[in-house]
Structure 1
């Protein structure tokens, strides 16, 4: 699985689990407004998260692969569906479902990656 997809899924899991995102100075430098968070890490990777109602828009740049990617997440109660595409043509779809303190995650990509994993606030992923 490509780094951008991993980063997007981990970021989405954190957003879903915590319903908020905090700045971590040692990992990335972030700027935030009412509904936009934009970050750049020490390796030159960049991403932004924009919220509009029940929809979250992610956009990023992966320095190692020199590729841009976008992802849209739509929330319906405890269920979040997401779709994304990268500048090299890779596309992915998936969902996250929150059940109590547990988040069930499933995705597949046009690059052949697919997975189902569970995250918990106490034990992690």
Structure 2
């Protein structure tokens, strides 16, 4: 779940102004090329996002858990499936489905976590 929240922050980061950046020093600093985005935050976490067609490859390192992780997202129209694995053996699967301005999200992990939640552009999650 921490991964999903970090990626959500990444999608919001471009909307922040320079003044807001100065007020929120814990946001990740990123470097971007045509298909690759590499980020690191002040807490020592690092992650990358690589886009190849409709597939997105995510890789990262979580400092608190001292674990590496990888996730692959495949998009088919309004439906995105994802699978991931971490260096401690945890694996997860899930999907996101867009319906208008609403996103229906569901995931399950081998660590026992699972959730289904709905997010709206207006009301949030």
**Does TM, scored on the shorter chain, surpass 0.5?**
yes
What is the match of residue 14 of structure 2?
22
Aligned residues: 117
1:13, 1:98 → 2: CA distance?
15
Q: 2:3 is matched with which residue?
A: 8
Matches within 5 A, 1:34-45: 34-45=34-45
**SS of aligned partner of 2:2:** helix
Report the RMSD for the aligned CA atoms in angstroms.
Answer: 2.1
**Bigger relative contact order, structure 1 or 2, given CA contacts below 8 A and separation 6+?**
1
* TM-score, normalised via structure 2 length: 0.85
Measured against aligned partners, the alpha-carbon deviations of 1:97-123 in whole angstroms (never above 9, x if no partner) come to: 000000000000000000000111111
1:14 Cα deviation (Å)?
Answer: 6.9
Q: How far has the Cα of 1:86 moved from its partner?
A: 0.1
TM-score scaled to structure 1, two decimals?
0.85
Distance 2:81 2:65 in 1: 26
Q: How big is each residue's C-alpha offset from its partner over 1:61-117, in whole Å with a ceiling of 9 and x where there is no partner?
A: 000110000000000000000000000000000000000000000000000000000
2:14 match: secondary structure: coil
